Structures are given as C-alpha cells and as structure tokens.
Amino acid sequence: MAELNGKPVTLDDLQSLALTNYGHFTTMRMEDGTIRGLSLHLDRLVRDCRIVFGVELDRDRTLHYIRKAAEGVTGVAGIRVTVFDPALDLTRPSAAKDPHILVNLRPAGALTPPPLTAKTFTFTRDNAEVKHVGLHPQLKLRRDAQLAGFDDAVFAEPDGRVSEGATWNLGFVDQQGTVVWPDAPVLPGTTMLLLQSLDAPKQITAPVRPADIPAMAAAFATNASIGVRTVSALDDVRFPQDHPVLAALRDAYTGIPGEGL
C-alpha cells in the first residue's frame, strides 16, 4: 500500500522519484499501532528536508499522512516515509521547493534476525548525516560483499576509521563490556540514538580502526527494522553469536515503549 499526500499513489506520481532518485526517507517499525522512536523519525524527516530541499517540512501534516496510511493496520508492519518533489526538473533541482510525502506499508520481518557477516570497504556516503534515497553505492558494495561470501558491507574512511554498515549503524563491545560506537561520519540512526539514551550498559564513542577490531568482544548492527543484530564476523575476525551485553541491549531496546500514532 502506498499513498502520496494522503491519496493513492499513481505511476505518474512516482515517475520523478524513479528518474531522478532525489529525496530522503525514514523507515519505521509499527507494532500494534505504536512506533518506537516515532519522534526521532519525525525529527529526522524535518531536519533532512531542510538539507535536501531547503524548506521546513510540516511535521503535523506528515504525522497525519502516516496515521491515515496505517489506519486499521494491526500487528507488525514496516512503514517507509519518503519525501520528494514530483515536479523536480533534472536540470533545475534548486527549483524543487514543494516536497510531497509518500507513505509505504509493507510486511515486517523478525525484530532480531540471525547473525550476519560483513566485509569492509573504503567508502564514505555522500551527506552521511542524511538518510537520502541515493542507495546505489551502498547496494553495489552490499552486492560485492555478498559475491565475496559475506552478508553485507561495512564502510571505513580513507584514514581507516570504521564507520557504519550499508543501511545500519555498527557498534562494538570491548573486553570490559563497554559499548563502543565508531567515531566517524555516520547516519544518526534512530535505534542507535535510543540505545545511546539508556543508562546501562556503559557506552562511549571512539575511533575504531581495523587494528582495534580483533580485540573487541562482540559486534552488532542496529536499525529500526532489525533492532540489535549480532555481527558474527567482520572480514576475518570472528565474534561470538551470543554475548551478555548484546542480550542486555536487546532487552533494554524492546523495553523502550513505542509512541502511539
């Protein structure tokens, strides 16, 4: 199901998005009419709209469209909200000042999928702080990782600092049980922000380089779709599939109450 500005979307409506691939989005997990971190998702949409289109997104109108699309939906569902301007001209993107709100509903998978393996690539996302729709580079590296026998890609800066996964934030647990978030250009993920708001376990943000990784006790991926997912291997470094800190993070995350639509 998809609606654009509260109305059923048409092929013509989507033509600009398909042909120009210019816009931004957020993806949420709805459970029985509540969304964990809903306010953070709305904050992201408003913030990114200023960066991408230079205009102020109407927060209340956006929430109204999300509510309308989700009306009557029970159980668990994935919701993606994409902001784009159907009138965008490839030759004059600076004239795109009327962002529309596309809301898609889709089935949602398990909150904690099986552990994943990842391969590291030197790469920095354009506008790393924005969750924009330009996914080709990330998906190309995800494909390369899968062709090399891994599940996904992890990025590292040219100076060697590890940053994030293809569509998720990356975290580590050191030998003292402290959660270590990489200090590098990354998307401020809503799940990561919610986890960072917890009183326990202890958490820090620090540079993580390849030489540091073998000394880590565990690694994990986070986003709104997967919660806290174990990373069981990063390149040739193996991590345990079960670690008490990861279990504590999962329990604490699922204990964060969702915000009602």
Taking only the tens place, the pLDDT of each residue in 206-242 is: 999 999 999 999 999 999 999 999 999 999 999 999 9
Query: CATH 3.30.470.10 region(s) of the chain?
Result: 2-106
As annotated, the residues of the chain forming the CATH 3.20.10.10 domain(s) are: 116-256
**What angle in degrees, to the nearest 10, is found between the helix axes of 38-53 and 59-70?**
120
pLDDT of 193 over the 90 cut:
yes
Mean confidence (pLDDT) of the chain:
96
Degrees to nearest 5, angle at CA 2 with 85 and 64 = 75
Cβ atoms within 10 Å of 36's Cβ, excluding its own: 23
What's the one-letter identity of residue 230? T
pTM of the predicted structure, to 2 decimals: 0.94
Task: Tell me which fold the domain 2-106 belongs to.
Answer: D-amino Acid Aminotransferase; Chain A, domain 1 (3.30.470)
- Can you tell me the mean pLDDT for 97-108? 95
**DSSP assignment letter at 213:** G
Kindly indicate the confidence band of residue 111, based on its pLDDT and cuts at 50, 70 and 90: confident
- According to the model, what pLDDT value does residue 16 have? 87
User: How confident is the model over 121-170, as pLDDT tens digits?
Assistant: 999 999 999 999 999 999 999 999 999 999 999 999 999 999 999 999 99
Look at residue 38 and tell me whether its pLDDT is greater than 90.
Answer: yes
- Per cent of the chain over pLDDT 90 is 91
- Superfamily (CATH H level) for 116-256: D-amino Acid Aminotransferase, subunit A, domain 2 (3.20.10.10)
| Residue 93 token pair | 């993107």
Q: Does residue 110 have a pLDDT over 90?
A: no
Query: Average pLDDT, stretch 77-92?
Result: 94
